Structure 1
Amino acid sequence: MSELLERLANLPLRENLRGVSPYGAPQLDVPIQLNVNENTHPMPEVVRQAITEEVHRVAGQLNRYPDREFVELRERLAAFLGHGVTPDQVWAANGSNEVLQQILQTFGGPGRSLLSFPPTYSMYPLLASGTNTAYIAGERGADFDLTAEAAARQVRESQPSIVFLCSPNNPTGTALGLDVVEAVYAAGEDAQTVVVVDEAYAEFRQTGTPSALELLPGRPRLIVSRTMSKAFALAGARLGYVAAAEEVTAALRLVRLPYHLSAVTQATANAALKHVDALLANVEDIKLQRDRIVNELTRLGLTPAASDSNFVFFGGLADPQRTWEALVSHGILVRDVGIPGHLRVTAGTEAETTAFLSALERHLGTGQG
């Protein structure tokens, strides 16, 4: 590995890529993997069958380029989102990471900047680096909260080209109030800041937690990002999308690669969107397991954050690395996000959740947690 790093250092890399590590979570061969916020529930059989039939239908046409404008998919995504969103306001790519990258390619770049508020999704600075966009790390409160006043002040001070607001936030799982989004948007008026609300986990939010989709009318610099990786259990299909003003989706077309969404990807997503109810039934079960985790961790004397996502961020651990290792020894993989005293666990099936809670309680009983 050291030899490879030495050879890498000898390449004529861009300076802002030197010393950078690629994004990635530990991948271990264990029975219960609760570390990357996947939907661990089995795909409903009706959805599997629909995807199989749709992919089979397009397989005979793979010698031709796919629909460059993926019209049917945009229509189905707009219908799913509601809130008056039209197909012309929807854009999609290979996972929400690619959509975010396209946003930075369009509105970022040399001489421009991106502001986000760590701890948050760790891909943001990597996406900024990859597009030669200066990255500005904002600040949160002591309990990782972000108030409208604090966020707006930091936007006025730094005048960024783009702001990424992750809601529900990864890794904390907490959602932002719409007052934060409104305040950030208003604070960016002079700099014409583009405000992106990353709602990758929106389908898991608590009842009554609003979506930034409500704020789209009259805000041409606001973009709401979603994904089909989580609630739709399509992490392997790679489909992310945004809703925004029509002029924003027109702008994103300027940087998209030709025919960037394959016919197979489009067929898979379209088939899944025909069975929203079956997929969202699993979402309800995941929410039950998430709330169960929060309740049980509280009983165990730990401090889980209130979660609007499909994972739980929890503190109160004296030695999170030792706890992580103990769980691995029981065949359970969770995520060490590098925040002292904390770990993050995905809400899995009932059986996976039971295994996690039982193993954690046994470990804490040894006094080594």
Structure 2
Amino acid sequence: MNVRSELLSQLPLRENLRGLSPYGAPQIDVPIQLNVNENTHPLPQTVIDAIAQEVSKAAATLNRYPDREFVELRELLAKYLGHDLDRENIWAANGSNEILQQILQAFGGPGRSVMSFGPTYSMYPLLASGTDTEYIAGQRADDFTLSADSAAAQVREHTPNIVFLCSPNNPTGTALGLDVIEAVYEAASETNAMVIVDEAYAEFSLANTKSALSLLGGRQRLIVSRTMSKAFGLAGARVGYLAAAPEVTDAIRLVRLPYHLSAVTQATAIAALKNVDLLLAQVEEIKTQRDRIVSTLTELGLKPSVSDSNFVFFGGLDDPHAIWQGLLDAGIIIRDNGIAGTLRVTAGTEAETTAFLERLTELLSAQK
């Protein structure tokens, strides 16, 4: 135990937080960073100029608190999502992680539980610990898929108060069928539990993949969370949001901090949404590179998962850490999620993708 850890252990920390490590992928300064699923394309200059103009307007009133209800932003988000949603269905926060945290603050807490199905987003158990909510680790099949029958049976067995469904799933990249979401919601209805579908990567989905937004009507306890970090290329702006019944947004207001979404954050998101077509044009290029990665990895004898996201999860590696290190030595960082025989890579620009594939080919050839 180092000195800092020893000093930390002396504090009257909550027992369920002792021994935990903060979330975070390695932050290593290399030329090609394909490890945290960012949109690696720079924002178009037109969007940069629009953001600068909106932020400049906001700067003139920074001596005042921002719009606590961020009405214009919610109206634009509702218009973007469609599905007959309006601003009363929308809530936003500083990244989708804060959205999930607020949901746990409102519906979780001591004596309550949240369930998800691993391997999945590693923040879920950390958010649970941070809100003193018991985390229940559900199971996927050996190929990391999740069927409607299995998911519903596990929800009925464990009776959680909240269920997180990650779709497309991180780190495996594959979306859930609507039948899985419907089955989980029906099972959760028996105990009045909330069901959250985390659609952080929804804009990258394959053409035949349907969003859980289509299921919101008549389902009071269903929430769909989204982010502007990925498809919109605004990871640095920290904007996440949810769509749900209006009474759900009322519940979140009970736990949100006052004026939690800054005027600068609101201005940035508003400018981006006013230029949504320019930003989403990059999504098609990212999907092209993602599909290129899947195709090439298959040709190399590896086992990439079907991807509805901006990243590719792949197996078939005898020594994934050696591959990870070999890529890093060449100035390329991807993600080792600690799942045996697998790695995960973000689909970057065409040049970044080419560099990754060429170096990976070299490393695999050297292992033969």
Same fold by TM (over 0.5)? Answer: yes
Which AA in structure 1 matches 2:45?
Answer: E
1:86-122 deviation per Cα after TM superposition (whole angstroms, max 9, x unaligned): 1100000000000000000000001100000010000
Matched, 1:272 2:298: no
In 2: Cα distance, 1:170 partner to 1:85 partner: 26
Per the alignment, in what secondary structure is the counterpart of residue 223 of structure 2? strand
Matched, 1:165 2:156: no
Q: Which runs of 4+ in 1 moved over 4 A?
A: none
The percentage of aligned residue pairs carrying the same residue is 71
Counterpart residue number, 1:226: 226
Counterpart residue number, 1:138: 138
Aligned pairs (5 A) from 1:1-369: 2-367=2-367
In 2: Cα distance, 1:108 partner to 1:186 partner: 19
Per the alignment, in what secondary structure is the counterpart of residue 155 of structure 1? helix
In 2: Cα distance, 1:63 partner to 1:42 partner: 31
- Give the TM-score of the pair, scaled to structure 1: 0.99
1:180-228 deviation per Cα after TM superposition (whole angstroms, max 9, x unaligned): 0000000011210100000000000000100000000000000000000
In 1: Cα distance, 2:81 partner to 2:255 partner: 24
In 2: Cα distance, 1:86 partner to 1:208 partner: 25
Deviation at 1:366, TM superposition (A): 0.2
RMSD of aligned residue pairs (Cα, Å): 0.6
Which AA in structure 2 matches 1:257?
Answer: L
1:42-93 deviation per Cα after TM superposition (whole angstroms, max 9, x unaligned): 1011100000010011101000000000000000000000011111000000
In 2: Cα distance, 1:109 partner to 1:27 partner: 31
Name the count of aligned residue pairs.
368
In 2: Cα distance, 1:190 partner to 1:182 partner: 13
Structure 1 unaligned spans of 5+:
none
In 2: Cα distance, 1:269 partner to 1:116 partner: 30
Which AA in structure 2 matches 1:81?
Answer: L
In 2: Cα distance, 1:104 partner to 1:144 partner: 25
1:102-144 deviation per Cα after TM superposition (whole angstroms, max 9, x unaligned): 0000000011000000100000000000001000000000100
Per the alignment, in what secondary structure is the counterpart of residue 72 of structure 2? helix
In 1: Cα distance, 2:261 partner to 2:39 partner: 22
Which AA in structure 2 matches 1:278?
Answer: L
1:278-303 deviation per Cα after TM superposition (whole angstroms, max 9, x unaligned): 00000000000000000000000000
In 2: Cα distance, 1:85 partner to 1:171 partner: 29
Per the alignment, in what secondary structure is the counterpart of residue 114 of structure 2? strand
